Structure 1
Amino acid sequence: MKEAIYSWIKCLAIFYILLTMLIHLVPTGKYQRYVRFFMGLLLMVMLITPMLSILEKAKTLPESFSSLYQQEEKSGSLLIWKIFRKAFWKKVWRSSLRKIFRNL
């Protein structure tokens, strides 16, 4: 048990060192905000993982994240495709209507 806690604290310390190094390498404050947000999410996952392993839920967490991500990606790509298709057909209609009115 002590060994597991020690390795967990060691991973957190390494993560914090890498976070600090990455923040200093990012060129502007605008990007630092995004890096801090992403690293904060990773830190929360790192903090929650030992608690979930106690509850034996750690194995299902990555699977549920990946399935939710795939669903979001699929719905997002479908939405982008619908927007693109609508814009394309609007452009086609405009050009065809222009040709019709030019011929009149």
Structure 2
Amino acid sequence: MTAVYEWVRNITYYMIFITVVGNLLADSKYEKYLRFFAGIILILLVLKPLTGSLRLDERIAYLFESISFQKEADDFKEKLWGMEDERLQRVMSTYEEAVAMDIRGMADTAGFSVRSVKVTIETDRDSPLYGHVTDLYMKLGRQKEENAAGGGWNAAGVSGGGTDSGPAEIQIEP
């Protein structure tokens, strides 16, 4: 008779424990897993007098831990991919800035006054042009010596009062 009382007491304590845990669980994304495994363990508790020697509760506990671990690993993997995408975006941004500085330096070396440079690099990993410069926008002025004298060319190539016959030529190779 004491075995029956102990059996009922274990079931009652378990139900109280699961109710408390369910109420304390702040994140509801684990609630369905908790209810699933709580139900399985409750079934094992109810059937324990018949299956006491099979150690099913230990096997179920092991399965619960392994599934919980897998879920946490998947969440961690998603966070890692998010951080990788953010890092890649920063690398591409730095790459665009470096290319813009190189182009500015080449134009300065050729004797042009660079007003602005904007470089766009393909960031789609599936594209065959991934990592290549896809767009380049530059605003150039006339040669530096002539800018100091008051002349210059605007972005549309219209003279600003200099005596030169036309804009100098820059060759851009892909």
Q: Same fold, TM exceeding 0.5? A: yes
CA distance in 2, matches of 1:58, 1:47: 10
CA shift at 1:73, angstroms?
2.3
Structure 1's unaligned 5+ residue stretches are none
CA shift at 1:88, angstroms?
0.9
Q: Which residue of 2 aligns with 1:81?
A: 80
Assess if the C-alpha contact under 8 Å between 2:37 and 2:64 holds in 1.
no
CA RMSD of aligned residues (A): 3.6
1:47 and 2:47 correspond: no
CA shift at 1:98, angstroms?
2.6
Assess if the C-alpha contact under 8 Å between 1:49 and 1:58 holds in 2.
yes
1:65 and 2:100 correspond: no
Q: Which residue of 1 aligns with 2:6?
A: 7
| Percentage of matched positions with identical amino acids | 12
CA shift at 1:14, angstroms?
4.3
TM-score by length of 2: 0.38
TM-score by length of 1: 0.55
**CA 1:63–1:42 in structure 2 vs 1: closer, same or farther (change >3 Å)?**
closer
> How big is each residue's C-alpha offset from its partner over 1:58-102, in whole Å with a ceiling of 9 and x where there is no partner?
221111221222233223322321221122111221132134225
CA distance in 1, matches of 2:66, 2:51: 23
Residue 48 of structure 1 aligns to which amino acid in structure 2? I
**CA 1:16–1:68 in structure 2 vs 1: closer, same or farther (change >3 Å)?**
closer
Whose relative contact order is higher, 1 or 2, with alpha carbons under 8 Å and at least 6 apart?
Answer: 1
User: Structure 1 stretch 93-102 or stretch 56-65: which is displaced more?
Assistant: 93-102
Pair member with larger Rg: 2
Assess if the C-alpha contact under 8 Å between 1:12 and 1:46 holds in 2.
no
Residue 44 of structure 2 aligns to which amino acid in structure 1? T
Assess if the C-alpha contact under 8 Å between 2:41 and 2:57 holds in 1.
no
CA distance in 2, matches of 1:40, 1:69: 13
Looking at secondary structure, tell me which structure has more strand per residue: 2
CA shift at 1:40, angstroms?
4.7
User: Structure 1 stretch 79-88 or stretch 45-54: which is displaced more?
Assistant: 45-54
Moved over 4 A (4+): 14-18, 37-43
Assess if the C-alpha contact under 8 Å between 2:41 and 2:60 holds in 1.
no
Other structure's SS at 2:64 match:
helix
